[in-house]
């Protein structure tokens, strides 16, 4: 591990020198790539330098233990204990930083939420989960953009797709893919019985045109008048766009904008993300063992979380985490859950590396 860290440190210093050279300023593409590499290596190098400083502190403290002055020896013991603690923490953090990085982690995401079992109650819950993610994104200063939605008259959504624009959005949101279950008494239920409904969430990294090439012959484009229950998803011109991708059978319908061109752009963005996601799933299937060892990147049909309103609890079944703060979570405060999932994912990967 430390040989690798020394190589990384040398590479980091090489990039520093290159960034300071006037020749690089004339090559913007190369400059951008070097800045990205420099930025990616910085956390690792800083942690390694902290590790080396802690190691030096330990060596200095050990030599000070030979001092005749008792006060100096006591001070050395304190510094030795602190140095050992820092060293152990740095070593663990370095192992995590050296884990292979998901190439999609820095990307923006497209999230697709669909009502499952439970009829209108599932559609209402889908709308609430959509709002939960929008609030979470706002808290992270990420921008959200509605791509398509199918509303029902009572404020629910049969389906909704939206983009979250922000560096690192995928690194957090990828853990949300799967089946989310809600248990509560619907407002329409006169008997006060608890109903169980489900929705599915799919989180896909945004795909650039360079990631996915779409052949025009494989696409059928239809334009039509938007329809629905009113609100931002409806207008009175032929602006709605439907894309049909023949090879996969994927159909995208976009009507959130008043402009046909904007709806077309959104539809193609969603199609690219879905095709890219299909490629990712194929790779995961080919690497079944690696897929099983990772949290939140497996089967979309997996029930990942339950929101129990009568008990005020949210349980993530993958890591057996239960929090009794459903109101906060529904308001977008999901970072505690995501942090626990990230920690569990890292622990699983570290364990697999050591086997």
Per-residue pLDDT for 353 more than 90? no
Interval 41-55 mean pLDDT: 89
Q: Do 123 and 158 form a contact (C-beta atoms < 8 A)?
A: yes
End-of-domain residue from the set 72, 97, 122: 97
128 and 219 belong to one structural domain: yes
153 and 49 belong to one structural domain: no
* Structural domains in the chain (count): 2
Q: Do 228 and 239 form a contact (C-beta atoms < 8 A)?
A: no
Per-residue pLDDT for 292 more than 90? no
Q: What percent of the chain has pLDDT over 90?
A: 30
86 and 201 belong to one structural domain: no
End-of-domain residue from the set 43, 62, 97: 97
251 and 161 belong to one structural domain: yes
Domain containing residue 33: 2-97
CA pair distance 189, 197, nearest whole angstrom: 14
86 and 170 belong to one structural domain: no
Output the six-digit token pair for 48: 């390694």
The residues near 75 (Cβ < 8 Å, ≥ 6 apart) are 64
Output the six-digit token pair for 1: 């591990």
Query: Does a structural domain hold residue 352?
Result: no
List, for residues 72-90, the tens digit of each pLDDT value: 888 888 889 998 999 999 8
72 and 217 belong to one structural domain: no
Query: Does a structural domain hold residue 355?
Result: no
Q: Do 274 and 147 form a contact (C-beta atoms < 8 A)?
A: no
139 and 36 belong to one structural domain: no
The CATH number given to whatever domain includes residue 43 is 1.20.58
Which residues make beta-bridge pairs with 184? Answer: 195
Confidence of residue 230 (pLDDT cuts 50, 70, 90): very low
Confidence of residue 132 (pLDDT cuts 50, 70, 90): very high
Confidence of residue 237 (pLDDT cuts 50, 70, 90): low
85 and 134 belong to one structural domain: no
Query: Does a structural domain hold residue 353?
Result: no
CA distance to 148, 163, 327, per residue, from 145 (Å):
9, 5, 24
Q: Do 201 and 185 form a contact (C-beta atoms < 8 A)?
A: no
List, for residues 176-204, the tens digit of each pLDDT value: 999 999 999 887 666 778 889 999 999 98
């Amino acid at each position: 591990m430390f040989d690798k860290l020394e190589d990384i440190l040398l590479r980091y210093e090489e990039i520093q020198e290159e960034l300071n050279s006037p020749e690089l300023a004339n090559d913007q593409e190369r400059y951008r790539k070097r800045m990205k590499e420099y930025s990616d290596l910085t956390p690792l190098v800083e942690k390694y330098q902290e590790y080396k400083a802690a190691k030096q502190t330990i060596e200095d403290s050990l030599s000070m233990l030979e001092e005749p002055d008792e006060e100096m020896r006591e001070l050395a013991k304190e510094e030795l204990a602190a140095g050992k603690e820092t060293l152990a923490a740095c070593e663990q953090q370095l192992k995590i930083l050296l884990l292979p990085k998901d190439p999609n982690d820095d990307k923006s995401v497209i999230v697709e939420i669909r009502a499952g079992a439970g009829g209108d109650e599932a559609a209402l819950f889908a709308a609430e989960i959509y709002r939960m993610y929008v609030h979470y994104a706002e808290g992270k200063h990420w921008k959200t953009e509605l791509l398509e939605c199918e509303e029902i008259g009572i404020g629910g959504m049969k389906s909704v797709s939206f983009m979250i624009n922000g560096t690192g959005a995928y690194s957090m949101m990828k853990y949300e893919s799967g089946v989310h279950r809600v248990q509560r008494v619907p407002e329409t239920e006169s008997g006060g019985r608890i109903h169980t409904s489900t929705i599915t969430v799919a989180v896909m990294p945004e795909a650039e045109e360079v990631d996915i090439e779409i052949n025009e012959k494989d696409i059928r484009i239809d334009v039509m008048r938007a329809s629905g229950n009113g609100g931002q998803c409806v207008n009175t011109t032929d602006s709605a766009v439907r894309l049909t991708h023949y090879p996969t059978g994927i159909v995208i319908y976009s009507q959130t904008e008043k402009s046909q061109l904007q709806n077309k752009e959104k539809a193609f963005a969603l199609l690219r993300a879905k095709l890219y996601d299909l490629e990712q799933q194929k790779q995961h299937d080919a690497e079944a063992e690696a897929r099983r060892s990772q949290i939140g990147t497996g089967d979309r049909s997996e029930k990942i979380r339950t929101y129990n309103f009568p008990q005020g609890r949210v349980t993530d079944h993958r890591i057996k985490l239960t929090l009794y703060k459903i109101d906060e979570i529904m308001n977008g405060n999901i970072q505690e859950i995501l942090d626990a999932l990230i920690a569990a994912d890292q622990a699983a990967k570290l364990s697999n590396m050591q086997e």
